[in-house]
Amino acid sequence: MNTDRKSSSANKAEAIDHTAYTRIFIPNVIYFHLMQFGGFFAALYFLALSQVSPLWWGLAAFSYFCSSCLGMAITFHRVLAHRTFALPKPLEYLFSWFGMMGGTGSTIAWIALHRRHHAHPDTDEDPHSPERFGWKMLFSGFEMKLDWQRVRDLLRDPFHIFLNRYYIILIASWATLLFLIHPLAFFFGFLIPASMQITISNLSTILGHGHGYRNFETKDHSTNNVLIAALTWGEGWHNNHHADPRNWRLGLKWWELDPAAWIITAMTKLGIVKQESFLQH
């Protein structure tokens, strides 16, 4: 019996060591600029053209909701980065795909960066502290140094390794498929929402540390920002989050609206998310 347990532990350790050599995808500045500015100028062009059906703008809004709310706010951040609760695996994988199509990186890359931020907020080790990089972070000026040790849990999951290893191929394939369906599907279903996701994510990083108000005296400079909360489905209550990263509710006061938490609550009431999957809090 003991031999079997040792063998099982050794196999797990070997699996983790093997995945340690999986390359963590690190999006470079050129990639971010192509996505960010490409979507921005495409949106300006179609606005000036004013002959595009409102349905296409509806597609852009829906795509942004899928990537930003279901993908980033709920799955990347609250489920995977902080493990505040668990989604059923099919939903975790689907929503991870949505988040990845927002253009800000694979689950492994994004979460490695975010966990490092929480480990060293507003210090020289913080990969995206406004005190270090200032407003140039709006255009993806933060540090891309990642550490696979921070995502050992994700490196046990073949699906997240797959998303990370083939990130560029998957992004390019999805964009190509949308273009083949209809050229406007590429712009409104992918490029414009991705540009919004990248820009708003970067803006939230800047305004979430030093621009707003504080409910808690934390060791960092995190602040709650109403504008960012409105743009990111409740992610802007950043001081609340830094005070208690293990809480899946970011909006704590009655007027701190947190749509992502509303969706989580709805999924719980519908039985999609089990009550026992939440951290004891």
DSSP string, 66-133: IIIIIIIIIIIIIIIIT-SS---HHHHHHHHHHHHTTTS--HHHHHHHHHHHHHSTTSTT-TT-HHHH
Q: Judge whether 161 and 148 are in contact, CB under 8 Å.
A: no
Structure tokens at 84: 């505040």
Dist. CA 272–CA 265, nearest whole Å: 10
* Residue whose C-alpha is closest to residue 221's, from 103, 113, 123, 145: 123
Q: Model confidence over 18-58: pLDDT tens digits?
A: 444 455 666 667 778 888 899 999 999 998 887 889 999 99
Structure tokens at 261: 């938490």
pLDDT of residue 142: 65
CA 57, distance to chain mean position in Å, is 22
pTM of the model: 0.88
pLDDT of residue 264: 97
Q: Judge whether 38 and 195 are in contact, CB under 8 Å.
A: yes
Instruction: Extract the residue ranges of the chain whose pLDDT is less than 70.
Output: 1-28, 141-143, 280-281
Dist. CA 225–CA 215, nearest whole Å: 11
Q: Which residues contact 85 (CB under 8 A, 6 or more apart)?
A: 78, 79, 248, 264, 273, 277, 278, 279
Burial of 245 (0-12, 13-18, 19+ CB in 10 A): middle
Q: What does the chain come to in residues?
A: 281
* Residue whose C-alpha is closest to residue 120's, from 145, 103, 98, 138: 145
Q: Judge whether 99 and 146 are in contact, CB under 8 Å.
A: no
Dist. CA 194–CA 84, nearest whole Å: 26
Dist. CA 278–CA 281, nearest whole Å: 8
**Contacts of the segment 271-276: beta carbons below 8 A, 24+ positions apart:** 272/88, 272/91, 273/85, 273/86, 273/87, 273/88, 274/86
Q: Judge whether 93 and 159 are in contact, CB under 8 Å.
A: yes
Q: Model confidence over 59-100: pLDDT tens digits?
A: 999 999 999 999 999 999 999 999 999 999 999 999 999 999
